[in-house]
Amino acid sequence: MSLPADFVFSQTSLQDYADCARRFELRYVQRVRWPALQAEPALEHERHLRQGERFHHLVHQHQLGIPAEALGTSIDDPVLRAWWQAYLAWPLEDLPARRWPETALSAPLGEYRLLAKFDLLAVEPGGRAVIIDWKTSPHPPPREWLAKRLQTRVYPLVLALAGEELTGGSPILPDQIEMIYWYPSGNPVRFPYTTAQFERDQAVLLQTVEDIAQRAEFPLTPELKTCAFCTYRSLCDRGERAASLDALLDAEEGSADSPPQIDLDQIAEIEF
């Protein structure tokens, strides 16, 4: 297997690997661009993705200091307006004052590097360091599901390994870190980090990266439902038709009987 020596891992590529080894191979090793729709109707799906991007852009501008009133006047979309109003109605009030919106950090992981692209970092040098990720699904998924997501593992790990780049050399210790997922419903999900979790995450991810680098074969996932929203499904002979946008949104939200299957906010990070 030929993973380039300068390959940079991310929560997105590691989540792809966790979901389906073949998807990782197609997307990151063979770099196959497969022009299939993820969901139909295509225009509505596209609009949904653009709404998420615009929301992140609005929040980014607000965190940089542009007044909310000035930003609000540019919103012409009711879905986006509802998210924006929720953002203003449910602020995260106890954050450290120093802010780094839309910031990327990377750290060594074995022979490779691990990258995290943060929506917002709020850091008090020598004190708390909070990672905020803006989500747009209507309600938080089950906490246990979120806890297992690679994003929840990768972001605090990278901040602990590379945070001193932000603080002028003062290390950020795992016990100072908290990860918060914000949702429009106003009930954020918080994950305090610990030294023990940091050590577990580092060991597990290092092992994962070594496994990937040594792999000769990347099998297709046996979980057929994972293929329903995968753009490679016709290439893998796992179905021709795109899923409906409603099914995609249902899969994002999950239900009492079934955990979410997909994180739409992650799709925009595939470029990483």
Binding residues for ligand SF4, rule: CB under 6 A, are 20, 22-23, 26, 220-221, 226-227, 230, 232-233, 236, 238
Looking at the Cβ atoms of 68 and 270, the one nearer to ligand SF4 is: 270
Nearer residue to ligand SF4 within complex by CB, 22 or 48: 22
Choose between 21 and 58: whose C-beta lies nearer to ligand SF4. 21
Burial (CB < 10 A; 0-12, 13-18, 19+), residue 248, is buried
Least gap, CB of 163 to ligand SF4 (angstroms):
34
Q: Report the C-alpha gap between 183 and 227 in whole angstroms.
A: 27
Closer of 90 and 218 to ligand SF4 (Cβ) = 218
* Minimum distance of ligand SF4 from residue 116's CB (angstroms): 24
Beta strands at 39-40 and 129-134: parallel, antiparallel or unpaired: unpaired
**Would strands 189-192 and 177-182 be described as parallel, antiparallel, or unpaired?**
antiparallel
| Closest separation in Å from C-beta 39 to ligand SF4 | 14
Q: How far is the CB of 240 from ligand SF4 (least distance, A)?
A: 11
Indicate the residue among 129 and 243 with the shorter CB distance to ligand SF4.
Answer: 243
Q: How many CB atoms lie within 10 A of CB 87?
A: 19
Which CB, 153 or 233, lies closer to ligand SF4? 233
Helix 150-162 vs helix 195-214: crossing angle, to nearest 10: 110
Six-digit token string for 143: 């906490």
Nearer to ligand SF4, 150 or 227 (CB): 227
User: Shortest gap between Cβ of 212 and ligand SF4 (angstroms)?
Assistant: 15
Closest approach of Cβ 244 to ligand SF4, in Å? 17
The distance of closest approach from Cβ of residue 26 to ligand SF4 in the complex, given in angstroms and rounded to an integer, is 6
